Amino acid sequence: MKNKFLSILFGLIIAPIFGQYLYVEYEHTVNVVKETGSFKMNAILVAEDNLSHYTVFFNNDKFKNISKVVKNQNDESSFHVFTSVDVGDSSTLIYNKIDNRISLNLLDNGKPIVIEDNGVKFDWKLSDETKTIQNFKCTKATVDFRGRQYIVWFTTDIPVSFGPWKFHDLPGLILQVHDVDNLFEWSATKIQYPIQIDKTLDAVHSGANFKVMSLRDYLKRQSEKRTEDEKMRLSKLPKGTRIVESKNENKGIELVYEWELDEDKKN
């Protein structure tokens, strides 16, 4: 009884300040050929029981600074969690397991916005294939998600149901993901537990003024803008060039959306 009381007290006083968090660094490779060619980005996943923050860094120096602080965790310093709508250098995707909500912040025409992608479901197919990554025994799982087929390696040795980007809901941490076309790839490069941070993870984006919109609305707006841009480009072609066909193809991570499929069915 006394023990229990103590532990509650302990919990109340200490827990909000020194939560125990899982820290994972990922390397995200994009092989879609554009002017930029293939490129790599670093990302950090910070997770507690029901919440994860997955932050992609566009500014590598910033990533390195955080990574360095975490490595020397024995010193007193703790690092800031990227919950505020601090965009330009990084973008944070918050996954809230309780009500299955995903929100992510980015710059839209130079203005910070938060996009909500709620109710995302991964229909994982588990395989009996296993492999060892470092010391972790990993199990293979596959999923068809928004037009791409992904192969995922997760480890039950780290019993959380988080992963990079939007991936979640496997019985273990996701260490590697790639799609069958090898255009997108995520690999864990560093795992640390526990780490301490100076405040609890925010359940939603906070900070500066920003607009919140659903992914569906955002995409609709983007698509309208893209079509207009494409028309503009085509109209600038020199004389003699013929436009036989012009399609605006989505070469991003997500190719089709559930609601588009629903609309197709209706038609």
Partner 1 sequence: MKILLLKSQKFYCLIVLLLLGNFMYAQTIKGQVSDTLKNPIVYVNVILRDSLNKQIINYTTTDEQGRYEITVKEAGEYVISFNALSYQPKSEKIIFENYNLTWNVTLQEQATELNEVIIQTEKAIVVKKDTVILTVGAFLKGNETTVEDLLKNLPGFNVAADGTVKIGNQEIEKVMVDGDDFFKKRYQLLTKNLNADLVEKVEIYQKYSNNRLLKDIEESHKVAVNLKLKKDRKIDWFGNASLAYGLTTANRYQVRANAMRFGEVGKHYFLTNLNNIGESSGGESSIYISASDLNEVGAIGNREMARSLICLDAYELSLKKSRFNLNNQELLSLNSIFKINEKIKIITNGLFNWDEKAFVQQSIQNYSTSSVSFTNRESNQVNKTMFSGSGAIDFDYDISQKELLEIDATYKRGDENSNSQLEFNSVPIHQFLSDHNERFTYKTIYTNKLAAKKVLALSGVYIYEKKPQNYTLDTVVFGDLFPDVDVTSASQFSNNQMYFTGFEAHLLDRKKKDDLLELKIGFTNRIDFLKSHLDLIDFYGDEVTSDFKNDLKYTVGKLYANAKYKIKFGNYALNAKLDFNQLFNNFESYGNEESQSPLFVSPSLSLSYEINENNKLSLSYNNNFTNASLLQVFDDYVLTNNKDFLRGGAGLNQVNSSGLTLGYSLGRWTKSFFATARVSYLKSHDFFSTNTIIDPDYTLTNIIRINDSETLIGDVNIDRYLKFMTSNLKLKFSFFKSDFKNSVNNSELRLVQNTSYEYGFELRSAFDGLFNYNLGTKWNSSVVKTTSKFSNTNNTSFLDLNFNFNQNFNAEIQSERYYFGNFNTDKSYYFLDFETKYKIKKRNVTFTLTGKNLLNVKTFRERFISDIGTFSTSYRLMPRILLLGIDFSF
Question: 190 or 216: whose CB is closer to partner 1?
Answer: 190
Q: Is 35 in the site for partner 1 (CB under 8 A)?
A: yes
Please identify which residue in 16, 88, 119, 194 interacts with partner 1, judged by CB under 8 A. Answer: 194
**Minimum CB distance to partner 1 smaller for 14 or for 208:** 14
Burial 87-126 (b: 16+ CB within 10 A, else e): beebbbbbbbbeeebbbbbbebeeebbbbbbeebebebee
148-155 sheet: strands from edge to edge: 125-133, 136-145, 148-155, 173-179
Residues near partner 1 (CB under 8 A), total: 67
Q: Which two tokens stand for residue 219?
A: 């995409």
Asked if 144 interacts with partner 1 (CB under 8 A), we say no
List residues bridging with 23 in a β-sheet: 46, 192
Site pattern 91..120 for partner 1 (x: CB under 8 A): ------xx----------------------
Kindly tell me which of 135 and 267 has the beta carbon lying closer to partner 1. Answer: 135
Considering beta carbons, is residue 24 or 215 the nearer one to partner 1? Answer: 24
Handedness of CA 34, 219, 47, 15 (dihedral sign): positive
- 139 lies in the site for partner 1, by CB under 8 A: yes
Please give the Cα distance from 53 to 139 (Å, whole number). Answer: 23
- Rounded to whole angstroms, the Cα distance separating 48 from 22 reads 6
Give dist(CA 212, CA 95) in Å, integer: 16
For partner 1, which residue of 61, 235, 264, 266 counts as binding (CB under 8 A)? Answer: 235
Residues that bind partner 1 (CB under 8 A): 3-4, 7, 20, 22, 29, 31-35, 37-38, 49-50, 97-98, 126, 128, 133-136, 139, 156-161, 170-172, 175, 178, 180-183, 185, 187-194, 228-237, 239-246, 251
